[in-house]
């Protein structure tokens, strides 16, 4: 799961809540357009065979024209208006962006929120100590007073979505150069957001769709008092951990619960004892009837980022150049962190969240590479490109003639700097914590250089704030060997022109020793001391610190060389990609086009379906508690099973949640999901909650670049397992009583 936010360009890391305002990090989303694409007018073709339905992440406000018929064909009993309506309550009022990176849904009239265990993980960790370990033992608030506040946590509702494409392109003409176009677009967007009709406590933002061919305005409402209500022990919520991650068959009860608090007027407010549980416009009823193969499913949430329309050259580069480098770096870091986590209980808690986050995409990239290879995605794209070329020369669409060769040229040009940039992100930003800390200090120095003492003071305050949470979970013992391994890797393998001179031919072992012996960057106490004094004094002390001096060269390399070069090329690529997107839709009017994920609210739908991962093997749709017991390894790090759960299994004490004497745990479907969809509700044909999305299957992790309906499946926890754990395992009947349980099939 990755969080991708276009504007403002912010890199937000999951689990560790670190937001870095590096205005320059991400693939630019700002692309331009001169003629507007009206997605409303195109509806997806109706097919005879529902197993042919090819995924897609659709815009909730445009379902009526585009998808309603197809959805009903698949078994849906609702109308598009039941899903999204501005004037009446609809499903969308129960769907909440959770802390910027996951999805959650409201399941009671008192603002009770359901999301994944791995989405609440950082919060659960932050309330845990070795003696009172909620990650290990779980947490259940048996009364409202016992619910735990989480500083900094937010959830966001979508109030309204408007198409503002025409306004965004006002004053933008074909002849303008890219930078100028972007300036004009940014100007228009800021005007649109400023003038958007909304209440004082609401926000407005504009997002780009179809690679910059369409723009939508979102009016949102963000709540800031979110409290932890319940979480199962990790042996349920994270059962199977990294071994089972991205895999089917799966047996994880990946859920946790929170509650939204509001002020006396039911509006957003910062944490206060006086706040009360939020009263939602809509909450999801919960079906006790379960699912079977072929049932309609709808997943409603906030997918982060996909890249379905990349040219073959780009996919080739990701699979053969960028992913392998990132996989190697993370593999080395993870092996070290894992070793220390296994031997020290305190380190295990400190690094639990960080480890999970790093391991998650490490494994995803491996699956993605294999899936792209196996599904022959590059060849498929090449064939499409051949057909595209034929069609445009037949139609004499001269404007599109050089698109593919432009891609080829530009991707060749950007390759080395893309790779270098990934080395910097993975080594200096994500995995070596000491270097991340020096990066923040580097920002303070830059602020001082640019804005003098005032800017310095402001930057120092914000950095010290970050350091406070950062060092709470820092261990020099773990970080030092990571530094040594990864700095060596960078020096040896990053493209030479992007290796700073202080890294060339250096003896990394000696360097590591001398840095970690003397630096002030390894504890909050020391770094606060270093950061105290006048701006001049701090600058002096910083530039005497060996870690800082070393890190600074790497960060300078990033900001002064890598990133400007990367951004300049990327701007050109984005312009071509925008044109290519438009061209594809024009040249293949009967193909299915949906906008790539961009962190906005989307509807995806499909059916409960098994799949064939390889010849002669068929994977069923549903797993059961029996399978948990089959995987059980006493006292294991990943596969231990709590005694109470074993007892419930043996006595078959499943209450109203079991099915023919069995307890369903997870199921899969053909819904097209990605990172950010975690915690999304799986909804039945009538709008009831049937499951909680949390993952995808190994063979289909390449769906972000090549959705293949034959093998791409999303994984959901059966809602009955969630209820069983809350009720029978945790005894939290107070929570069950808040919910509305229904029997739509009976
Ligand atoms: N793969 C899922 C997603 O991308 C679940 C990740 C959490 N679990 C883990 N073992 N890291 O977020
Ligand atoms: N596990 C992902 C998430 O956290 C979902 C996915 O990538 O399928 O959003």
Mode of pairing for the β-strands spanning 286-287 and 741-742: parallel
Q: Which of 705, 718, 624 is nearest to 669 (CA)?
A: 718
Taking CA atoms only, the protein residue closest to ligand 2 atom 5 is 675
Quick check: helix, strand or coil at residue 127? coil
> What's the mean per-residue pLDDT of the chain?
93
Distance from the CA of 694 to the center of ligand 1, in angstroms? 7
Counting ligands in written order, which one lies closest to the CA of residue 360? 1
Q: What is the pLDDT of residue 618?
A: 97
Q: Name every protein residue with a CB atom under 6 angstroms from any ligand 1 atom.
A: 1, 118, 241-242, 245-246, 356, 359-360, 675, 678, 694-695
- Choose the residue to mutate in 97, 675, 682, 712 for probing ligand 2, maximizing ligand atoms within 8 Å of C-beta: 675
CA gap 72, 74 in Å, rounded? 5
pLDDT by residue (tens digit) across 482-531?
A: 999 999 999 999 999 999 999 999 999 999 999 999 999 999 999 999 99
pLDDT by residue (tens digit) across 411-433?
A: 999 999 999 999 999 999 999 99
Lookup result for tokens 């949470």? 469
Task: Please check whether residue 692 is in contact with residue 719, taking contact to mean a CB–CB distance below 8 angstroms.
Answer: yes
Q: How many residues does the chain have?
A: 746
Per-residue confidence at 327, pLDDT binned at 50, 70, 90? very high
Q: What is the pLDDT of residue 11?
A: 32
Counting ligands in written order, which one lies closest to the CA of residue 673? 2
Distance from the CA of 101 to the center of ligand 1, in angstroms? 12
Is 678 known to be catalytic?
yes
Distance from the CA of 9 to the center of ligand 1, in angstroms? 24
Is 90 known to be catalytic?
no
Q: What is the pLDDT of residue 31?
A: 28
| 268-290: average pLDDT | 98
pLDDT by residue (tens digit) across 338-352?
A: 999 999 999 999 999
Measured from the Cα of 14, ligand 2's closest atom is 4
- Choose the residue to mutate in 360, 637, 638 for probing ligand 1, maximizing ligand atoms within 8 Å of C-beta: 360
pLDDT by residue (tens digit) across 350-409?
A: 999 899 999 999 999 999 999 999 999 999 999 999 999 999 998 888 889 999 999 999
pLDDT greater at residue 33 or residue 645: 645
Q: What is the DSSP letter of 544?
A: T
CA gap 495, 491 in Å, rounded? 9
Measured from the Cα of 14, ligand 1's closest atom is 12
Residue 394 burial (CB count, 10 A) = 9
pLDDT at position 744 over 50: yes
CA gap 14, 676 in Å, rounded? 10
> Which structure tokens are listed for 149?
């506040």
pLDDT at position 46 over 80: no
Report the chain's terminal Cα–Cα distance, integer Å: 37
* 345-374 helix and 377-395 helix, angle to the nearest 10 degrees: 50
| 122-142: average pLDDT | 95
Counting ligands in written order, which one lies closest to the CA of residue 303? 2
Q: What is the pLDDT of residue 9?
A: 30
Taking CA atoms only, the protein residue closest to ligand 1 atom 6 is 360
Residue 337 burial (CB count, 10 A) = 21
Percentage above 90 pLDDT, the chain: 90
Q: Which of 418, 678, 680, 703 is catalytic?
A: 678
Distance from the CA of 120 to the center of ligand 2, in angstroms? 13
> Which structure tokens are listed for 44?
């997806």
Distance from the CA of 248 to the center of ligand 1, in angstroms? 13
Q: What is the DSSP letter of 281?
A: S
pLDDT by residue (tens digit) across 222-250?
A: 999 999 999 999 999 999 999 999 999 99
Q: Which of 633, 352, 370 is nearest to 478 (CA)?
A: 352
Measured from the Cα of 363, ligand 1's closest atom is 1
Q: What is the pLDDT of residue 411?
A: 98
pLDDT by residue (tens digit) across 96-109?
A: 999 999 999 999 99
Distance from the CA of 242 to the center of ligand 2, in angstroms? 14
Measured from the Cα of 695, ligand 1's closest atom is 2
DSSP string for 552-585: HHHHHIIIIIIHHHHHHHHHHHHHHHHHHHHHHH
Distance from the CA of 261 to the center of ligand 1, in angstroms? 28
Please count the helices (runs of H) and the strands (runs of E) in the chain.
Answer: 25, 25
Is 636 known to be catalytic?
no
> C-alpha angle with apex 148: 143 to 150, nearest 5 degrees?
155
Task: Please check whether residue 189 is in contact with residue 206, taking contact to mean a CB–CB distance below 8 angstroms.
Answer: yes
At residue 229, φ and ψ (nearest 5 deg) are -110, -40
| 324-341: average pLDDT | 98
Q: What is the pLDDT of residue 672?
A: 97
> Which structure tokens are listed for 314?
């780009």
Taking CA atoms only, the protein residue closest to ligand 1 atom 5 is 695
Q: What is the pLDDT of residue 198?
A: 98
Q: What is the DSSP letter of 601?
A: -
Q: What is the pLDDT of residue 395?
A: 84
Q: Where are the chain's structural domains?
A: 14-154+224-302+597-743, 312-587
- Which CATH code is given to the segment(s) 14-154+224-302+597-743? 2.40.10.120
Q: What is the pLDDT of residue 175?
A: 87
Measured from the Cα of 116, ligand 2's closest atom is 4
pLDDT by residue (tens digit) across 52-103?
A: 667 899 999 999 988 999 999 999 999 999 999 999 999 999 999 999 999 9
Predicted structure pTM score: 0.92
pLDDT at position 256 over 90: yes
* 508-518 helix and 476-493 helix, angle to the nearest 10 degrees: 140
């Amino acid at each position: 799961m990755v969080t991708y936010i276009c504007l403002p360009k912010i890199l937000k890391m999951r689990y560790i809540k670190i937001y870095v305002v590096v205005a320059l990090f991400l693939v630019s989303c700002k692309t331009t357009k001169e003629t507007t694409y009206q997605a409303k007018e195109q509806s997806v073709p109706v097919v005879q065979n529902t197993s042919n339905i090819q995924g897609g992440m659709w815009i909730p406000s445009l379902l009526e024209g585009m998808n309603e018929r197809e959805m009903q064909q698949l078994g849906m009993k609702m109308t598009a208006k039941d899903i999204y309506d501005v004037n009446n309550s609809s499903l969308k009022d129960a769907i909440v962006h959770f802390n910027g990176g996951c999805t959650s849904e409201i399941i009671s009239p008192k603002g009770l929120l359901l999301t994944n265990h791995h989405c609440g993980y950082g919060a659960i960790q932050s309330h845990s100590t070795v003696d009172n370990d909620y990650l290990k033992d779980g947490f259940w608030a048996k009364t409202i007073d016992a619910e735990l506040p989480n500083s900094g946590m937010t959830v966001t509702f979508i109030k309204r979505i408007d198409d503002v494409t025409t306004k965004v392109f006002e004053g933008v003409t074909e002849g303008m150069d890219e930078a100028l176009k972007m300036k004009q677009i940014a100007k228009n967007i800021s005007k649109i957001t400023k003038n958007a009709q909304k209440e004082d406590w609401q926000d407005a933002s504009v997002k780009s769709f179809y690679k910059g061919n369409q723009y939508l305005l979102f009016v949102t409402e963000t709540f800031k008092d979110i409290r932890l209500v319940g979480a199962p022990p990790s042996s349920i919520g994270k059962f199977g951990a990294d071994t089972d991650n991205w895999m089917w068959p799966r047996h994880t009860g990946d859920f946790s619960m929170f509650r939204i608090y509001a002020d006396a007027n039911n509006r957003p407010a910062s944490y206060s004892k006086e706040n009360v549980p939020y009263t939602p416009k809509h909450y999801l009823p919960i079906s006790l009837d379960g699912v079977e193969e072929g049932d309609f499913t709808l997943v409603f949430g906030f997918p982060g980022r996909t890249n379905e329309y990349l040219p073959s050259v780009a996919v080739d580069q990701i699979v053969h150049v960028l992913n392998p480098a990132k996989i190697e770096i993370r593999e080395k870091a993870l092996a070290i962190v894992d070793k220390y986590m296994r031997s020290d209980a305190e380190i295990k808690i400190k690094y639990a969240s960080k480890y999970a986050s790093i391991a998650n995409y490490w494994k995803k990239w491996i699956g993605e590479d294999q899936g792209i290879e196996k599904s022959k995605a590059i060849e498929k794209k090449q064939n499409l490109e051949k057909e595209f070329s034929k069609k445009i020369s037949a139609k004499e669409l001269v404007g599109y003639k050089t698109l593919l060769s432009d891609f080829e040229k530009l991707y060749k040009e950007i390759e080395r700097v893309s790779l270098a940039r990934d080395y910097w992100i993975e080594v200096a930003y994500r995995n070596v914590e000491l270097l991340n800390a020096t990066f923040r200090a580097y920002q303070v120095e830059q602020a001082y250089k640019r804005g003098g003492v005032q800017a310095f003071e402001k930057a120092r305050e914000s950095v010290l704030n970050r350091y406070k949470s950062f060092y709470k979970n820092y261990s020099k013992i773990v970080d030092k060997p990571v530094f040594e391994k990864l700095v060596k890797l960078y020096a040896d393998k990053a493209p030479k022109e992007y290796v700073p001179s202080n890294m060339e031919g250096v003896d990394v072992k000696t360097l590591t020793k001398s840095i970690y012996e003397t630096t002030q960057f390894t504890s909050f106490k020391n770094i606060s001391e270093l950061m105290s004094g006048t701006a001049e004094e701090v600058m002096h002390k910083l530039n005497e610190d060996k870690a800082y001096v070393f890190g600074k060269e790497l960060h300078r390399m990033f900001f002064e060389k890598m990133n400007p070069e990367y951004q300049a090329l990327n701007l050109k690529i984005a312009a071509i990609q925008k044109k290519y997107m438009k061209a594809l839709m024009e040249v293949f009017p009967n193909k299915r086009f949906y906008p790539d994920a961009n962190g906005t609210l989307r509807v995806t739908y499909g059916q409960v379906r098994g799949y064939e991962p390889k010849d002669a093997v068929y994977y069923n749709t549903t797993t059961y508690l029996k399978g948990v017991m089959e995987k059980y390894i006493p006292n294991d790090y990943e596969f231990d099973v709590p005694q109470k759960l074993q007892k419930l299994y043996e006595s078959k004490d499943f209450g109203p949640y079991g099915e023919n004497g069995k307890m369903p745990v997870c199921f899969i479907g053909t819904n097209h999901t990605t990172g950010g969809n975690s915690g999304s509700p799986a909804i039945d044909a009538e709008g009831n909650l049937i499951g909680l999305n949390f993952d995808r299957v190994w063979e289909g992790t390449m769906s972000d670049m090549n959705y293949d309906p034959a093998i791409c499946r999303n994984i959901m926890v059966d809602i009955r397992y969630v209820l069983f754990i809350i009720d029978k395992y945790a005894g939290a009947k107070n929570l069950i009583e808040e919910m509305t349980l229904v029997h739509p099939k009976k």
